[in-house]
Structure 1
């Protein structure tokens, strides 16, 4: 039996716009473990947020529909995106990422607290291979693969303008490469390995008119940032490199 995803692409015509894709995505109930967890977290809440209404649904991508730079994470945080309804918003990982995006000239402000806080991304969109918060921040391979069609269609809709991708962490790297290959970009052989600062140019094909720059960056998890393995400056440097590859304007 195929998983059910509400009014999503598994049922009929694929969405024609990112707005349609996002509307379909938030109704997805395809992964029972993730549905149960995201809703449990939304009911029980963290004490610091007990007076807030949690989003408790799949979290769509964030950023303009004509983005030339895409950032690919892992999955929403239980009390971050699963609470606020926006990628990397309201948690420590987002504190680092959005501060780096601001320093790179890709965000209107260095903080992200809630939808409606005035945050705007410039030429940049943020998404993830898994759109529901997973227990212990660890989606299963089956959950990753079940969620894959959302990423495939997001990439297809972005492809006319997309020139550069930054992948945060090895999970996203492994999830994205086969999706890029299926979408028509050429993946080098042997398959490129993830690493911080890795840069791979995926050649254009008949299916994809423009080449795509792929960059690796350690994930902005607390484990990485609290230990000093990853700093805001390191993230900013990768973002600037990716922005240049995407021909986005950088601050002087």
Structure 2
């Protein structure tokens, strides 16, 4: 188990460190560690991360992108969400096109990638077998996402959810944090937009739905780069981020 629970951390840096130590779900622990030992042949020379994968992006992000869970040979290998797999290739290329990422590809945690005003995270932090977390695993992981959004609350203005799983996982988190959900609850759909009023006298939150950037969607044309950029661009504007602005280059060294 972790040495610090979600409620004990005071910053996103502390949260990310605590997430990486979590061992709360036995099935996920076994799977992620098995994958890290057996490896995929193409990555046999890699030292796999094999732990829960924290969120990625600045602590004052105005926009959050929420996926599903790390990929077994992507985030579980590299230690960074949506990094080292085909889904990440599509997502980071779109963010770079919009001026929200410093480069178009994300291959490792040390590749110099920087995000501008955007943080990427997931409702489940461990790679699940067959990319299918159980409802119990989703609910066990929920406090991490809730605390992450609480810490981002001063600057957070928009959220993009990639896929129906993330949408369903996020709604109770939003309701328990600082925003009021409409009744009936909003239904996931690509291009869905919901404005959520705050319950703490703060600004509202703009919630966007987008098909997941999985190969099942991108290879079949269900989700095209143009469709993805359209949703991400709208969410960036709602967050006060101007798409296609230059992203500062990472410092030398």
TM-score range relative to shorter protein: over 0.9
Unaligned runs of 5+ in 2: 246-253
C-alpha deviation, 1:184, in angstroms: 2.5
Match of 1:116 in 2: 110
Note if contact 2:194-2:206 (Cα within 8 Å) is conserved in structure 1: yes
Match of 2:3 in 1: 7
**Equivalent pairs, count:** 245
Unaligned runs of 5+ in 1: none
Match of 2:130 in 1: 136
Give the structure-1-normalised TM-score: 0.95
C-alpha deviation, 1:104, in angstroms: 1.2
Q: Does 1:88 align with 2:79?
A: no
Which secondary structure state, in structure 1, belongs to the residue aligned with residue 235 of structure 2?
helix
Runs of 4+ in 1 over 4 A off after TM superposition: none
Match of 2:98 in 1: 104
C-alpha deviation, 1:120, in angstroms: 0.4
Give the structure-2-normalised TM-score: 0.95
Match of 1:229 in 2: 222
Which secondary structure state, in structure 2, belongs to the residue aligned with residue 241 of structure 1?
helix
Note if contact 1:8-1:28 (Cα within 8 Å) is conserved in structure 2: no
Match of 2:249 in 1: none
Q: Does 1:63 align with 2:57?
A: yes
C-alpha deviation, 1:9, in angstroms: 1.2
Instruction: Provide the rounded CA distance (Å) in 2 between the counterparts of 1:23 and 1:243.
Output: 27
Structure 1 pair 175/208, CA: closer, same or farther in 2 (3 Å)? farther
**What whole-Å deviation, never above 9, does each CA across 1:179-228 have from its counterpart, x for those lacking one?**
000102010111000000000000122x2511000000000001001111
Q: CA RMSD in A?
A: 1.0
Match of 2:251 in 1: none
Match of 1:48 in 2: 42
Instruction: Provide the rounded CA distance (Å) in 2 between the counterparts of 1:127 and 1:208.
Output: 25
Match of 2:71 in 1: 77
Note if contact 1:26-1:57 (Cα within 8 Å) is conserved in structure 2: yes
From 215, 218, 234, the equivalent of 2:211 is 218
Note if contact 2:36-2:77 (Cα within 8 Å) is conserved in structure 1: yes
Instruction: Provide the rounded CA distance (Å) in 2 between the counterparts of 1:199 and 1:8.
Output: 35
